[in-house]
């Protein structure tokens, strides 16, 4: 989202989540200011979702909940900051799988998501979106393929996180359609959306949560997504699978993590509050509108899911011939 639309969404949050509708709950969370770390700039999908959740959490618990944007290195700076935060229950991180997967792609990543972070709960699943600049006049994948054949030197696409599946999904798309696509790194969704809207980059790849509002506003054109079936928030957008490219099927997710060595009682306190907030009808509705299919879990289920996904992701990286960077 742009900064203006983010403020609008946050205003809606204040209206939809008025204190009388939620009520104050007893909580075991620390009676201090709570921080939610975000690895991407203000205005992107991660930031907007986290701010909405933070407002609901604040009203539910009575705690002061703030967002801290630790931007850079495709979200890994936030992960490193969480790893080094005190395990006192005051700090968590809202992290996408696009950041987590970089453990497989960069030897220098400063944390191991499977050992250096403590999972709290899954927040939901998210599809990757492939979009084009409105100036291209392209409305479908087939039209984009035809456009590429007529403009072979413009085979680049912007990615919100190099070394993640917002990068690899674009490469996989090029493989599937038989036209290699070259990634261009961006520091999050907001600058990529600005360049797409201005026609400075022809295509882009990122979580659907980053692009859906801009798609609806006509600022970018999402031509397909990565799910096995259409996203509930975007029934008008086809998937790569239904367009005849079954290899273009990757489902990402968002997870709340705590610092390592956080006591189990504090993990449970955070999990209890976050699961309750995410299941509030008004929060679930708004998350769906942002493109997140809300799904919560136990910490153990997060660990199991990560282990299974790491195995599949490694197979995908091998299939596209990607070699980890130093």
The predicted structure's pLDDT at residue 247: 92
Average pLDDT, the chain: 90
Region 237-242: mean pLDDT is 96
Give me the pLDDT at residue 12, please: 40
Q: What pTM did the predictor assign?
A: 0.80
Question: For residue 101, what are the CA distances in angstroms to 6, 96, 176, 248?
Answer: 27, 9, 21, 17
Q: With contact defined as beta carbons under 8 Å apart, do 38 and 69 qualify? A: yes
pLDDT digits (tens, 9 = 90+) for 254-310: 999 999 999 999 999 999 999 999 999 999 999 998 889 999 999 999 999 999 999
Does 185 score more than 70 pLDDT? yes
* Among 104-113, 239-248, 264-273, 303-312, the least confident range: 104-113
Question: Which of residues 218 and 20 earns the better pLDDT score?
Answer: 218
Per-residue exposure over 41-69, b if at least 16 CB sit within 10 Å of its own CB, e if not = bbbbbbbbbbbbbbbbbbbbbebebebeb
| Residue range 213-229: mean pLDDT, rounded | 94
Task: Answer whether residue 5 shows pLDDT above 60.
Answer: no
Domains of the chain, start order? 3-125+253-299 (3.40.190.150), 127-250 (3.40.190.10)
**Tokens read off for 131:** 């979009």
Percentage of residues in the chain with pLDDT exceeding 90? 71
**Range with the lowest mean pLDDT among 151-155, 227-231, 237-241?**
227-231
CA distance 158 to 164: 12
Q: What per-residue confidence (pLDDT) applies to 326? A: 62
**Can you give the pLDDT at residue 321?**
85
């Amino acid at each position: 989202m742009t900064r203006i639309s983010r403020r609008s969404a946050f205003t809606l949050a204040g209206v939809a989540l008025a204190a009388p509708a939620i009520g104050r709950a007893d909580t075991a969370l620390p009676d201090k200011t709570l921080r939610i770390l975000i690895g991407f700039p203000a205005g992107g999908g991660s930031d907007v979702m986290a701010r909405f959740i933070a407002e609901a959490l604040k009203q539910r618990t009575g705690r002061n909940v703030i967002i801290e944007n630790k931007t850079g290195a495709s979200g890994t700076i936030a992960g490193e900051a969480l790893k080094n935060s005190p395990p006192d229950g005051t700090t968590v991180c809202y992290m996408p799988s696009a950041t987590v997967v970089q453990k497989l792609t960069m030897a220098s990543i400063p944390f191991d998501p499977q050992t250096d972070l403590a999972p709290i709960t899954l927040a939901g699943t998210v599809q990757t979106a492939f979009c084009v600049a409105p100036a291209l006049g392209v409305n479908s994948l087939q039209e984009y393929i035809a456009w590429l054949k007529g403009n072979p030197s413009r085979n680049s696409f912007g990615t919100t996180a190099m070394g993640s599946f917002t990068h690899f999904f674009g490469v996989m798309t090029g493989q599937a359609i038989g036209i290699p696509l070259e990634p261009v790194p961006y520091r999050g969704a907001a600058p990529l959306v600005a360049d797409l809207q201005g026609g400075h980059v022809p295509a882009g790849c990122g979580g659907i949560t980053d692009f859906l509002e801009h798609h609806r506003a006509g600022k970018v054109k999402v031509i397909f997504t990565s799910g096995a079936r259409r996203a509930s928030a975007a029934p008008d957008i086809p998937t790569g699978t239904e367009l005849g490219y079954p290899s273009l099927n990757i489902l990402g997710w968002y997870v709340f993590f705590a610092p390592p060595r956080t006591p189990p009682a504090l993990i449970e306190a955070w999990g209890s509050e976050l699961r309750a907030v995410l299941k509030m009808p008004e929060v679930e509705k708004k998350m769906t509108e942002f493109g997140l299919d809300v799904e919560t879990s136990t910490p153990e289920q997060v660990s199991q899911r990560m282990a299974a996904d790491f195995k599949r992701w490694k197979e995908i990286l091998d299939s596209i011939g990607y070699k980890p960077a130093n």
